Amino acid sequence: MDLTFSMLGQRMNAESGIVSLMDDLGRALTERPDMLMLGGGNPAAVPVLQARWRERMSELLADGASFDAMLGNYDPPQGNPVFIASLAAMLRRELGWHVGPENIAVTLGGQTAFFFLFNLLAGRTMVAGRVQHRKILLPLCPEYIGYADQGLEPESFIACRPTIEWPRGEASREFKYGVDFAAVAAALAGGDIAAMVVSRPTNPTGNVLTDDEIHRLAALADAHGVPLIIDNAYGAPFPGVIFTEATPFWSPTTILTLSLSKLGLPGTRTAAVIAPPPVIKALSAMTAIAGLANTNIGQRLVQPMLDSGELLTLSRTVLRPFYEEKSRLALGWIHEIFGAAGLDYAVHASEGAFFHWLWLRGLPVSSHELYERLKERGVLVVPGEPFFFGLPDDWPHARECLRLNFSGRPDVVREGLQRIATEAAAIVRLHRGG
């Protein structure tokens, strides 16, 4: 039997940051129950939300016809029409966006949404009678590891290095990445950009692009006739895991993705894309070809909560304070533990999402090597290198960073931070000859 894979098959079967991340996460959860989990993006067990999802499931079970339809019927490839209408009405009511059902498509989670979008827009494209290899521009890198291998053609991404700012002075050990607009404009001037993509809050760093940065990126995108794609997996209006002032943004030339995962429903694999109607039509066709239809359960669970406003209330009053307090506690432990270890470290400003982005300045080994050593110590983190894809040249900073998930139990997070600091300090001493 000839099991020689196609070129596409080989590409999708190659070493990948997101494959390694999900494999490590899955194995740790099933084979290493003692592993201290500071890796992955799994949401925390939030008791209020867990109870509410059990209640909603009970309500669906009590309505036999609705439950049977949920499990027994295909929805249209675009998604459940009632869910889509409710989401559009909520966006009009709460945010004043001119959005209708023709602007919304459901996908099998955000990862699938971006796989569809990137390959819909980028790659070999006929432009003015000739074939052009079009790319996705990351205006600010590091960016989400899950994008890196989604282009079906090689070299699908080009990225811009950020500026590094110290809002409260370098002594505070808190830095923030900013958009280098000159670099973004230069990349767009090349004429081969199909779209720009940003996550807000940014995965991995917890950075929230300011309203000014978003509006300037949108203006640049419009000027060059390409869409700005905003990944809103952690942001407003839901799940609302955002700790600073930031106005939700959408325009008729913007593509926005929303997800149910960080509401505590990652197992439902449900996301929604808000986009111009031609994009929605294309996404619906891609869903039909790839999987016939989307899963129904997540849409049925949250639909009445969109109508009542309960989903947004839970986001504001439960999820945001829950994760903001976890961030505050973990940040305090980082300063305490890494300071006591004598390490030269800095932490990105925590403005949203589930992560602290730790910069170990002058780390004498790569963050990937540190990650492997930490697995041996029973701590799972995510090394920084895979988040820096698409850059035109080497950047040592990329090898000095770790993404740490702070959403776990406090004792797990604190002990994990202690083991990271201990191992990093031992490495530094060894390389200094001490």
The tens digit of pLDDT for each residue in 347-368 reads 999 999 999 999 999 999 999 9
pLDDT 10s digits, 240-253: 999 999 999 999 99
Cβ partners under 8 Å of residue 412, min gap 6: 36, 37, 38
Yes or no: say if 255 and 229 are a contact pair by the CB < 8 Å rule: yes
d(CA 178, CA 184): 12
**Which one-letter amino acid corresponds to residue 111?**
Q
Strands (E), 364-427: 379-380, 382-383, 401-405
State residue 19's pLDDT score.
67
* pLDDT, tens only, 148-196: 989 988 889 999 999 999 999 988 999 999 999 999 999 999 999 999 9
CA 422 to chain centre: 29
Rounded distance between C-alpha atoms, residue 135 and residue 150, angstroms:
12
d(CA 66, CA 382): 41
Report the distance separating Cα 88 and Cα 253, nearest Å.
Answer: 17
User: Which pair of structure tokens corresponds to residue 351?
Assistant: 């403005």
Report d(CA 50, CA 45) in Å as an integer: 7
Please give the distance of CA 23 from its chain centroid, rounded to a whole number. Answer: 18
The residue ranking higher by pLDDT, 66 or 333, is 333
Mean pLDDT, the chain, rounded, equals: 93
pLDDT reading at 413 higher than 80: yes
Task: Check: pTM over 0.85? Answer yes or no.
Answer: yes
Tell me the pLDDT tens digit for each residue of 6-33. 777 777 776 666 666 667 666 666 666 7
Give percent helix, percent strand, percent coil of the chain, each to the nearest 5.
Answer: 50, 15, 35
Using CA atoms, how far apart are residues 36 and 356, in angstroms rounded to an integer?
Answer: 16
Structural domains of the chain sorted by starting position, each given as residue range(s) with its CATH number in brackets? 7-48+320-432 (3.90.1150.10), 74-314 (3.40.640.10)
What confidence score (pLDDT) does residue 22 get? 65
The helix (H) or strand (E) run that includes residue 322 is helix 320-340
Please tell me the number of Cα atoms within 13 Å of 264 on its side-chain side.
21
pLDDT of 24 reads 67
What is the pLDDT, as a whole number, of residue 2? 72
One-letter amino acid for residue 402 of the chain: L
Q: What gap in Å lies between CA 269 and CA 348, rounded to an integer?
A: 29
Please give the pLDDT value at position 31: 66
